[in-house]
């Protein structure tokens, strides 16, 4: 298992480099001149040319790409903003905790509410509980995040005055952003949990367990649930990616100075170093999440664990044969 984790961690290097090359190329070919934004419309062609040269924007694609990769992967330096000249690393460090807090809490809500809701729906199949759960899930999937966010603000801030409508501060500032970010995930998770559970409870081994006279609780918790969790875990990984992507919208609506907000402003300003740094950073986070999902698979599914162990045993056998 340790070898597997190490191997996956090493894979992060080419993955993040690949992401870096792709995002750099996209930003390189996107029309729109950052120098014009920095200098405004009054700048003379000479000053524009000088700044382009200073920023290295006149260099060929391959030289700029090489310089970017060297700075990021060898010097661990994301550089500074074209527009504000503020260090990107410093800015990311100050914004990161807010984005992670929203992402983590949204994910927890997704799991804690979505899975029980889906399982309950499956156990109540075609009955009122199932229908209500699925109607809730359908609403959750259909509602755009920014619309839900504004509705929450109208209800909880304007009408009830319970929660602040925007900004940062205590934990109360994060309740609505997390809810708005989590609702689509909760709905998706509930639908996935329902269909997985339905598939499992029709399986022969569940029928056998019931035939053995085990209690319903024991059948569900010990036999059905662990098997139903396998596809749910796979979905959970992609939900986390969606949640981090959704933070771009949510942070803007709630005026939370996180990484998503930082990235949107940078895209509008063609502040390439910030956009590239944010994308690489999100790609690394996503890679880690996928690694955690794979490790979770190994613990949930004995077949996958056996594969890892089997690989280990096969290697041992080969070594013995060589000896």
Partner 1 sequence: MKRRRLLAFSLSIFMVASAIAGCSSSGLAGSDDPSPSNQSGSVTPSISELSNEVVDYSKNVTSDGKTFIRVGISADPGTFDPLVGSNSTGRQYALNPMAQHLLTSNFDMELFGELAKSWDKIDDFTYIIQIHDNITDSDGNHLTSADVVWCYEQAKESGIGQSKNISSIKALDDYNIEFILDVDTITIFQSVMRRINIVTKKAYEDSPNKMATTPVMTGPYVLKEYIPDSKIVVEKRDDYWKTNEAERCFTEYANADIIEFHVIKEPAQLAIALESGQIDMVYGLDTMNASRFMDGESPKEGFNRFISKTSSVILLFLNCSAQSVFKDNLALRQAILYSFDSQAIADGAYSGGAVPCKAFGSSILPDYLDEWESDDYDYYNYNVDKAKELVAQSGYKNDEVINIMVDSDSQRKMVAQILQNYLLAIDVKTEISSYDQTLFDTYADDPAKWDIRVDSGSSSDYLASMLDGRFNANKFTEGMYNESFAQDDKLQELVIAANDPKSFNSETVGALVSYLNEQAYAVGLVNLVLETVTTDVVEDIVLTFMPNILPSSCWFVWNKR
Binding to partner 1, residues 272-311 (CB under 8 A): none
- Cβ–Cβ under 8 Å, residues 276 and 23: yes
Instruction: Using alpha carbons, select from 171, 174, 136, 176 the residue that is nearest to residue 152.
Output: 176
- Cβ–Cβ under 8 Å, residues 34 and 270: yes
Least Å from the CB of residue 203 to partner 1:
19
Least Å from the CB of residue 57 to partner 1:
14
Structural tokens at position 79: 């550089």
Contact between 81 and partner 1 by CB under 8 A: the answer reads yes
**What does the DSSP 8-state code read for residue 78?**
-
Structural tokens at position 42: 């009054």
Contact between 317 and partner 1 by CB under 8 A: the answer reads no
Contact between 22 and partner 1 by CB under 8 A: the answer reads no
Contact between 259 and partner 1 by CB under 8 A: the answer reads no
- Cβ–Cβ under 8 Å, residues 220 and 206: no
Least Å from the CB of residue 156 to partner 1:
6
Residues 130-149 that bind partner 1 (CB under 8 A): 132-133, 136
Residues 221-250 that bind partner 1 (CB under 8 A): none
x-or-dash string of contact with partner 1, 84-123, rule CB under 8 A:
xxxx---x--xx-------------x--xx--xx-xx--x
**One residue of 15, 48, 214, 304 binding partner 1 per CB under 8 A:** 48
Q: How many CB atoms within 10 Å of residue 29? A: 8
C-beta of 42 vs 204, nearer to partner 1: 42
- Cβ–Cβ under 8 Å, residues 81 and 271: yes
The Cβ-side half-sphere exposure at 260, using a 13 Å CA radius, reads 24
Least Å from the CB of residue 168 to partner 1:
6
Instruction: List the beta bridge partners of residue 87.
Output: 80
Residues 162-181 that bind partner 1 (CB under 8 A): 162-173, 175-176, 179
Structural tokens at position 41: 């419309």
């Amino acid at each position: 298992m340790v070898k597997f984790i190490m191997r996956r961690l090493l894979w992060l290097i080419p993955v993040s480099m690949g992401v870096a090359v792709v995002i750099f190329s996209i930003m390189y070919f996107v029309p729109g001149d950052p120098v014009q934004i920095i200098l405004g419309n009054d700048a003379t062609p000479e000053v524009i040319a000088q700044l382009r040269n200073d920023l290295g924007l006149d260099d060929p694609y391959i030289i700029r790409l090489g310089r970017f990769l060297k700075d990021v992967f060898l010097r661990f330096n994301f550089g500074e903003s074209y527009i504000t000249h503020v260090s990107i690393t410093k800015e990311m460090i100050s914004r990161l905790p807010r984005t992670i807090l929203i992402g983590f809490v949204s994910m927890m809500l997704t799991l804690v509410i979505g899975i029980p809701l889906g399982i309950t729906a499956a156990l109540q199949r075609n009955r009122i509980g199932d229908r209500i759960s699925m109607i809730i899930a359908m609403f959750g999937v259909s509602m755009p995040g920014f619309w839900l966010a504004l509705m929450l603000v109208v209800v909880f801030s304007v009408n009830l005055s319970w929660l602040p409508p925007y900004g940062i501060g205590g934990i109360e500032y994060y309740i609505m952003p997390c809810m708005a970010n989590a609702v689509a995930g909760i709905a998706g998770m509930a639908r996935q949990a329902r269909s997985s559970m339905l598939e499992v409870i029709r399986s022969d081994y569940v029928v056998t367990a019931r035939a053995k006279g085990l209690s319903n609780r024991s059948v569900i918790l010990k036999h059905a649930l662990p098997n139903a969790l396998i596809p749910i875990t796979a979905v959970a990984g992609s939900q986390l990616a969606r949640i981090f992507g959704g933070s771009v919208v949510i942070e803007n609506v709630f005026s939370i100075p996180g990484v998503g907000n930082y990235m949107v402003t940078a895209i509008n300003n063609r502040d390439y170093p910030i956009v590239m740094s944010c994308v690489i950073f999100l790609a690394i986070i996503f890679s880690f999440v996928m690694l955690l999902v794979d490790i979770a698979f190994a613990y949930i599914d004995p077949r996958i664990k056996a594969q890892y162990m089997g690989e280990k045993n096969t290697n041992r056998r080969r070594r013995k044969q060589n000896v």
